[in-house]
Structure 1
Amino acid sequence: MSQQTFLPPNRSRKKRVIFITIIVLLLLVGGAFFYAQSRLTPVDRNSNKKVNVTIPQGSSVQSIGTVLKKEDLIKSKSAFRYYVKLTHVSGFQAGTYLFSPSMSLGEMVEKMEKGEVSKQPDIRVTIPEGRQLVEIADIIAKNTKFTKDEVMKKLDDKAFVNKMKEKYPDVVTDEVMQKDIKHPLEGYLYPVTYDFYDKNVSLDEILDKMVGKTNNVLGQYSGQMKKKKFSAHKLLTMSSLIEEEATAKVDREKIASVFYNRLEKNMPLQTDPTVLYALGEHKDRVSYKHLEVDSPYNTYKVKGLPPGPIASSGLMSIKAALHPANTDYLYFLATPEGKVIFTKTLEEHNKEKAKHITGKEKQNTEK
C-alpha cells in the first residue's frame, strides 16, 4: 500500500489565505491605479467646446478645482488636488485661460503654472491689505468708470447689503447692520487683485466679487471658526485690529495674544487704529486729546471689540486671529524703526516707551 504525504490542515489553510490575500491586494492596487489614471484623462477627448476660465489672484488649489469641475473640464476635484500636490506645482498665475474638455488635467495645470493666459483683463483692481472702505472705494474709482461717491453709496446701500446677506449668509449676517456700525461692509472686501474681462462690468459685479472672495476665504476656516465659536463678523473684526497694528517685521500671533489676554482680563484693548477709525482721518500720531473721541470704536473708552472691522485684513491676520500665540503679554509697543516690543506689565511697557518713544522725542527736541 503506497504512502501519501498530507500537509496539516491548518498549514494548508494558511497558504490558501495568503495566496488569496496577495491576489486581492494586487487587484485592489491595480484597480486603484487604473481608477486614478482615468481621473486624470480628458473628460471628452473628442470635444470641440472652448471655455474661458478666470483664475483670480491668490486662488487656492481647492477653489480652482471647484471652478474646473463646475465647467465640466475635469472629472474629479480631489484628483486635481492630489495631482497638483504630487507633481509639486509651485503655483498658478492669475488670469483667464482657454480650456477644453478634450484637454488632460496635466495640460491645464501646465498652462496655469506657466501663465499662458488667453487674454489680458480690461480692468484690474488691486486692494492692498489693511485698507479701509473709503480707501478701497478710491482705488476702485481710479481703476473703473465709477466715482468714489458712487462706490461708497452702493456699499452703504441697504438693498445691496441685503443682497450680499442673501447670497453669502454664512459670512454677511445681521451683525453688519448693528446700529453702531459705521459701514456695513467694512472689512468684507477681501484684499487681493481682481481682474475683469468686460470694460462695462457693473459696480454690483465688482463689489460682489470682492465680498465673494471673503466668503471663499473664510469658508476654508469654517470648522475652526465653529470650534472657537467665532462668527465671521467677530473674526474679521479681530483680524482687522491685528492687520492695522502689524508691520512687516512683527509676529501677528503675538499681537493677537495681547488682544485676547486683555479681553480675558476685561481690560480695554487700547489700540490706536480704532481711535483713528473713529476720527475718520489719518494722523501720524495719536494724542491724548484724540483718545477722548466719543465713539463705540474707541477702544480706549469702550471695553471689548469694536462694533465691526476697521479695515480689510489679509490671510496672515485672519490666521493669527484664529491661532494666537500662547503668551502672558498684555502690552506691545511699535518703535519708530518698525520693531514691536512685547511686555507683561505696565511698568515694563512704560520703561520701553520712555526708551524708544519719549526719550527719542526729547533728544530730537534738544537737537
Structure 2
Amino acid sequence: MEKAKMRKSRKRRFSVLIIFIILLSVGIFANNYYREGLLAMNPDDSSDVLIVIPSSSSVSTIANILHENKLIKSPLIFKIKVKTSNVASTLKAGEYNLSTDMDLDTIISKLVKGGKDRNIVKFTIPEGYELEQMAEKLAKEGIVNEERFIQLSSDKKNFEEEFPFLKELEKGQSLEGFLFPSTYEIFAGAREEDVIEKMLHEFEKVYEKDLASKLKELDISLNEAVTLASIVEREGKVDEERPLMSAVFYNRIKKDMMLQSCATVQYVLGERKEVLTNEDTRIDSPYNTYINQGLPPGPIASPGEASLVAAVNPADVDYLFFVLTGDGTHTFTKTYEEHLQAKPKK
C-alpha cells in the first residue's frame, strides 16, 4: 500500500515537471518568436516598397497588407505590438514608402505619423534661384506657405539632424544655396518641411558624388565651395565656361584681388540689373565683392550640378578677367589691358 502511494507521488511530481518543462519551452519559444517578429525582414535592403492603406482599414487588414508586401514577419506580432503600444486608433490611411530594413517599431511609427495623399504635384526650381524666389514661386503654385517656407529655411538647425552635412555650416546660416534646383514630384498636401527635405536630399546626392572628396583635396569648406558655385551659376550661361569662371575667381583670391562679381551686388540689391552703377558697386554689404576681398559669407543662389562641379574642379588657366560677349558666352583674359580691349561680338 505504501509503495503504491509512493509510485503515485513520483508520477505526479514527474507529470508536474513535464508540464513545467513544456510550459517553459512554450514560453521561451513564444518570447523568441515575439522578439524575432519585431526585427526587420531584411536589414540589408533599403529599397522602397510602396503600399496603400485604404481608409477605415482595421488593424488586421493593415497587418495583412504589410505581411503580403513582405514588410513584417508576423501579422499576429504586429497586432500584439499595436495593442500593447495603445496606437490602434491612431494608425492612418494613405500611401507609404516603406522598406524591408525597417523594424516593426519604425513601421508602426510611420503608420502613426500618416501617409501621403496619392495625388502627385510636380514643380520645378530653376538653377540660380534664391530662397525668396523659390518661396514665391512655390506659394503661387499652391505648394507651400511662403512665410513658413522662408522661416524653416532661414536656419540650417531645422534640418541638420537629418542632414549632417549642414553641421559644417556656420551657426544660424540659412539654406540659401543648398536647396538643389531641379524638377520634383511630391504628394499633394505635402508640408513645407517635406518640400525642403526633398530638395536637401537631392543636394546631398550631388555633395556625396561630386564634392565631399574634392573639398578635402582643395582644403576648402563646403560653404566656400557652394558660395563659389552660386557665383559661377549666376555669372555663367554656358556650362563649358563654368570651370574657366571658377578658375578666374580662384586666381583672383590667390592674388588678393577682389572678385568684383556683379552677381553678388545684384543679390544685395534684390534685383538683377543688367548694368550696375558706381553707386551700386559701393553698397555697404559683406556680400558686395567690389568692396570686400574673398568670397561673401554664404551662397547667393542655388547652383546646379555643373556649377557645383566647376567650383571644385577649376580649369588650369591663368585668367583673371572675363567679360560677356553678347551671345551668352564670355571672353577670358589674363591682364586688365586685354580685358579692356575685349569687345562684345556683333
Aligned partner of 1:356 in structure 2 is 344
Check the 8 A contact 1:333/1:341 in 2, yes or no: yes
1:148 aligns with: 146
Deviates more, 1:252-261 or 1:204-213: 204-213
Contact 2:157 2:172 in 1 (8 A): no
Which position in structure 2 is the counterpart of 1:334? Answer: 324
Query: Within 5 Å, which residues of 2 pair with 1:240-255?
Result: 240-248=230-238, 250-255=240-245
Q: Which residue of structure 2 lines up, in the alignment, with residue 256 of structure 1?
A: 246
Task: Give yes or no for contact 1:250–1:340 (8 Å, CA) kept in 2.
Answer: no
Note the C-alpha offset of 1:186.
Answer: 0.5
Q: Which residue of 1 aligns with 2:296?
A: 306
Q: How many residues align?
A: 244
Change (3 A) 1:155 1:346: same
Are the equivalent residues in 2 in contact too, given 1:239–1:317 (CA < 8 A)? yes
Match for residue 132 of structure 1? 130
Q: In the TM superposition, what is the alpha-carbon distance from 1:141 to its structure 2 partner?
A: 1.1
Letter in 2 for 1:216: K
Judged with a 3 Å threshold, the aligned counterparts in structure 2 of structure 1 residues 99 and 280 are, in CA distance, closer, same or farther, namely: closer
Give 2:309's aligned amino acid. K
Alpha-carbon deviation of 1:173?
A: 3.1
Q: What amino acid sits opposite 1:164 in the alignment?
A: F
2:264 corresponds in structure 1 to 274
Tell me which amino acid in the other structure corresponds to 1:140. L
| CA RMSD in angstroms, aligned pairs only | 3.0
Q: What secondary structure sits across from 2:159 in the alignment? A: helix
Among 196, 205, 216, the residue aligned to 2:205: 216
Structure 1 residues 333 and 206: alpha-carbon distance in aligned structure 2, compared to 1, 3 A threshold? same
Secondary structure of 1:286's aligned partner? coil
Q: CA deviation at 1:264?
A: 0.4
2:50 aligned residue: 52
Change in CA separation of 1:305 and 1:285 when aligned onto 2, cut-off 3 Å: same
1:344 counterpart letter in structure 2: K
Instruction: Write the distance in 1 (CA, Å) between the matches of 2:70 and 2:254.
Output: 50
| TM-score after normalising by structure 2 | 0.64
Counterpart mapping for 1:9-158 below 5 A: 51-52=49-50, 122-156=120-154, 158=155
Question: Per-residue deviation at 1:174?
Answer: 4.0
Residue 315 to residue 174, structure 1, CA distance change in 2 (3 Å) = closer
Q: Could you tell me how far apart the structure 1 residues matched to 2:181 and 2:120 are?
A: 19
Q: CA deviation at 1:120?
A: 8.2
Aligned partners of 1:333 and 1:250: how far apart in 2? 15
User: 1:260-279 CA distances to partner (integer Å, 9 max, x unpaired)?
Assistant: 00000000000100001011
Displacement of 1:191 after TM fit? 0.7
Contact 1:186 1:309 in 2 (8 A): yes
The structure-2 alpha-carbon separation of the partners of 1:172 and 1:215, relative to structure 1 and needing over 3 Å to count, comes to farther
Q: Distance in 2 between matches of 1:340 and 1:250?
A: 11
Find the counterpart in structure 1 of residue 311 from structure 2.
321
* CA distance in structure 2 between the aligned counterparts of 1:214 and 1:331, rounded to whole angstroms: 30
Corresponding letter in the other structure for 1:209: K
Q: TM-score, normalised by structure 1?
A: 0.60
* 1:175 partnered with 2:173: no
Alpha-carbon shift at residue 134 of structure 1 (Å) = 1.0
**Taking structure 1 as reference, are residues 240 and 343 closer, same or farther at Cα in structure 2, changes over 3 Å only?**
same
Pairwise CA distance, 1:168: 1.5
- Distance, in Å, in 1 between the alignment partners of 2:228 and 2:298 is 9
In the TM superposition, residue 286 of structure 1 has moved relative to its aligned partner by: 1.3
Q: Which runs of 5+ in 1 are unaligned?
A: 1-42, 45-49, 54-70, 74-95, 102-118, 179-183, 361-367
Q: Is the 8 A contact 2:230 2:300 kept in 1?
A: yes
Shift in Å, 1:142: 2.5
Cα deviation digits, residues 270-325 of structure 1 (max 9, x gap):
01000010112221221212101100000010000000000000111111111111
Relative distance call for 1:51 and 1:340 in structure 2 (3 A) is same
How far, CA to CA, are the matches of 1:163 and 1:148 in structure 2? 17
- Measured in 2, the distance between the counterparts of 1:271 and 1:201 equals 37
Q: What SS does structure 2 have at the residue aligned with 1:290?
A: helix
Give the CA deviation at 1:135: 0.9
SS state at 2:294 partner: coil
- Whole-angstrom CA distance in 2 between matches of 1:218 and 1:72: 33
Match for 2:223 among 224, 233, 251? 233
Corresponding residue for residue 191 of structure 1: 181
- 8 Å CA contact 2:235–2:263 kept in 1: the answer is yes
Distance change in 2, residues 1:126/1:176 (3 Å): farther
Provide structure 2 residue ranges, at least 5 long, that are not aligned to the other structure: 1-40, 43-47, 52-68, 72-94, 101-116
1:165 is aligned to: 160
**Alignment CA distance shift 1:121-1:335 (3 Å):** farther
* 174 and 236 in structure 1: CA distance in 2 versus 1, 3 angstrom threshold: closer
Q: 8 Å contact 1:250–1:339 — kept in the other structure?
A: no
Letter in 1 for 2:205: N
3-state SS of paired residue (2:166): coil
